[in-house]
Amino acid sequence: MQSILSLLADPGAWAALATLVVMEVVLGVDNLVFVSILSNRLPPDQQTRARRIGIGLALILRLALLATISWLVGLTRPVIDLGLHGPLVDGHPAFETAFSLRDLILLGGGLFLIWKATKEIHHTMSTDGEGHGEASAKSGLSFGSAIAQIIALDIVFSIDSILTAVGMTSELPIMVVAVVIAVGLMMVAADPLARFISKNPTVVMLALGFLLMIGAVLIADAFGVHIPKGYIYAAMAFSGGVEALNMAARKRKTKR
C-alpha cells in the first residue's frame, strides 16, 4: 500500500479515485431512491431528518466495512452448498446453489426490496388522490420503522458498494475518499430528489419499478447469475428519459 504523499503524486491514483467516485455514485442511486420514497411516507417535519440519518448511517456502514476489508473479502467463501447446478451455458452452470455470506445477504436484501416495493406500489395505488397528510396518517409507518428499514437496505447496498471498491483498487485511502465523496453527493441530492419524487406521482411508480428490478437482480446475483450493471442502468436511464418526455408533454398540454 502506497503512502498518502505518493498517492497524491500518482496520476493513476487520481484516475482510480475519479472512476471509483463515479461507480460509488451510480451504485448509491438505488440506495438514495429507496431512502427518498420511504422518507416521503413520514410526516413532513420528520422527512429531512430521516433522510439525513439514513444517508449518514450508510456512510458509517461503508467506512466500518472498509475497516474490516479482510473479513468482507471472506464473505465470498461458500458456507452453504445445496448441491444443485443449472444447465451448462458456455461451459459454466446457469446458476449455483453454493451460497456465501454475501450471497445470503444479497438474497435477503433482494427479497426484502421486492416485498417493500410491492407494498409501496399497493400503498401508492390505494392512497392515490388523497392529501399528503392523510396518506401519511394511513401509511402506518413510524419514524423508527422507517429508519430500521433504511438500515436494512443500507447494509445490503454498502456490502455491494465496498466489494466493488475492493475489486477496483487495493488502496484503502482511495476507497475511503471515494466513499466519503459519493455519500456526500447523496446527502446533497437527497432532499431535491425526494421533493421531485413527491411532486411527480408517475415518477414514484417508475422508481418503485426500478426497485423491483434491482431486487430481482440481487436475487439473481445470489444464485450466481451475474447481470452486467451497465444493462440495468441503461434500462433505468432509458425509462427515465421516456418519463421525462411524458412529463414535458403533460406540462405543455396543461399550459395550452
Domains held by the chain: number: 1
256 residues of the chain, pLDDT tens digit each: 555 556 566 666 677 778 778 877 877 777 888 888 888 888 888 888 988 988 888 888 888 888 787 677 667 777 777 766 655 556 555 566 778 888 888 888 888 888 888 888 887 777 654 444 444 444 557 888 888 888 888 888 787 777 777 766 667 777 888 888 888 888 888 888 888 887 777 777 888 888 888 888 888 888 878 877 777 778 888 888 888 888 888 888 877 7
pLDDT tens digits, one per residue of 180-238: 888 888 888 888 888 888 777 777 788 888 888 888 888 888 887 887 777 777 888 88
Residue among 123, 181, 116, 179 nearest 149 (CA): 116
For residue 137, what pLDDT is reported? Answer: 42
For residue 200, what pLDDT is reported? Answer: 77
C-alpha cell at 35: 431512502
Domain that holds residue 83: 4-255
For residue 62, what pLDDT is reported? Answer: 84
For residue 226, what pLDDT is reported? Answer: 80
For residue 94, what pLDDT is reported? Answer: 56
Q: How far apart are CA 228 and CA 26, in angstroms?
A: 13
Q: Answer yes or no: are the C-beta atoms of 147 and 49 closer than 8 Å.
A: no
